[in-house]
Amino acid sequence: MYTVVTIDDEPLVKKTLRVLIERYPEELYQVVGEAEDGKEGLELIESLAPDLVITDLNMPVMGGLELIERLRAAARDVEVAVLSGYDDFDFAQQALRFGVVDYILKPIRPESVRQLLDRFHAKRSADAAASSGRGAWISFCSETAKALAERVWLLDVPGADEALDRFAGGAAARGLRGEVEAEAYQALATLIGSELSQRGAGGLEPLPVELESGAETPLPSSMRDEVRRRLKAKIAELQDARQVGNHQGIRAAVAYLDARFHDPAVSLPLVAGVAGMSQAHFSRTFKKEMGVSFVEYVTRQRIERAKALLDAPGTKSWEIAESVGYQEYAHFAKVFRKYTGLTPTEYRRRETGDGGASQGRNQR
């Protein structure tokens, strides 16, 4: 359980925070102290040693920025998040430079608090893994979480299943077993939830730590099944929210794209014709139901397929570019880097640690 101290001169704000924090699933957080200002808060922090401090910036006696400065000067091992109104946004940006974990704008929204707690939990999970010698798989979890959140956002159940299965294979290849593998699935679920929250889709419930009969740790297979179930439930939730399927033409267009996204001839006029709609009406309706524009949908499908192919040994990058619909390798590499932050060669090398010798071999 994580302990929290809240600091604000408005009683209603502290009461709201307590309710939202202690409502977090699995009773993972507990508010152990509340203060009216930074001076009182500093005393509470020194006596209670909380894991997380949530403080207002604009308070009497001692403001939030001075409190943060004092905590950093004393090298206190505590994470800080700040509350600020729109008028105090410059102060919030200054607080971020002090290394605060996040900030929440007033008036407080439940989703903002949930996102903060998700991110804090993910960070602490990663820190704990690294300090125990298990940090090697955290970047793997983070990368997979981004891919899975993308599949969920695009309402792609088969793609989500495939990405989760690749994660299972990657965990086995990294030698993750037993308790460590179970921790990896817990971290994965938390990171997926954080990614989805940042897109405004709400998070995932944290994985419960439920032991199988006679087992000392949760079985990774059962945790994988639980992640799969929650991903499908989130996709169904998004489908309902977007009223997906209400328009027969969009259903036809998505089916066509899922089968033909790699075809260089795929275009907006072509697919609008498949849907039996004008281009303008198709564009508006497609984005409303799918959460992204037509071009974004096609591009993301292509890049996700390219990433999967790059993970397979023996494939050449220029061949992969052609197989996902790009006739010019340079254009493919530019788009790939825009969406992943890496060139195709860098993406492949991240796992193998290959040097420059493989670069020409894979690109040509």
How many CB atoms lie under 10 A from the CB of residue 213? 4
Summarize pLDDT for 27-56 with one digit per residue, the tens.
889 999 999 999 999 999 999 999 999 998
| 193 and 260 inside one domain | no
Q: Give the count of domains, the chain.
A: 3
Whether residues 228 and 131 fall in one domain: yes
- The CATH number of residue 320's host domain is 1.10.10.60
CATH number of the structural domain spanning residue 20: 3.40.50.2300
SS (H, E, C) 260-315: HCCCCCCCHHHHHHHHCCCHHHHHHHHHHHHCCCHHHHHHHHHHHHHHHHHCCCCC
Note the pLDDT of residue 5.
96
- Segment 244-286, tens digit of pLDDT: 767 888 989 988 998 999 999 999 999 999 999 999 999 999 9
- Same structural domain, 236 and 257: no
115 in a structural domain: no
Q: Which residues contact 262 (CB under 8 A, 6 or more apart)?
A: 302, 305, 323, 324, 325
In this prediction the pTM is: 0.52
Is 114 inside a domain boundary?
no
Determine whether 363 is exposed, middle or buried from the number of CB atoms within 10 Å of its CB (0-12, 13-18, 19+): middle
Q: Is 223 exposed, middle or buried (CB count within 10 Å of its CB: 0-12, 13-18, 19+)?
A: buried
What is the reported pLDDT for 132?
Answer: 56
pLDDT at 26: 76
Q: What is the pLDDT of residue 364?
A: 38
- SS3 label, residue 175: coil
Place of tokens 């929250």: 197
Question: Which secondary structure element, helix H or strand E, spans residue 234, and what is its range?
Answer: helix 220-242
Residue 117 forms part of a structural domain? no
Q: How far apart are CA 287 and CA 270, in angstroms?
A: 17
Predicted local confidence at residue 92, as pLDDT:
56
CA 37 to chain centre: 33
Please tell me the predicted confidence (pLDDT) of residue 357. Answer: 35
Are 41 and 152 in the same domain?
A: no
Q: Which of 215, 242, 269 is the last residue of a domain?
A: 242
Q: Which domain holds residue 8?
A: 2-108
pLDDT at 247: 83
Segments in the chain below pLDDT 50: 210-214, 352-364
Distance separating alpha carbons of residues 154 and 151, to the nearest angstrom: 5
User: What pLDDT is recorded for position 208?
Assistant: 61
What pLDDT was estimated at residue 213? Answer: 45
Residue 226 is assigned to a structural domain of this protein: yes
Arithmetic mean of pLDDT over the chain: 82
Last-in-domain residue among 86, 108, 130: 108
Q: Which of 149, 138, 152, 164 is nearest to 308 (CA)?
A: 164
DSSP 36: S
Q: pLDDT at position 176, please?
A: 77
Question: Do 256 and 237 sit in the same domain of this protein?
Answer: no
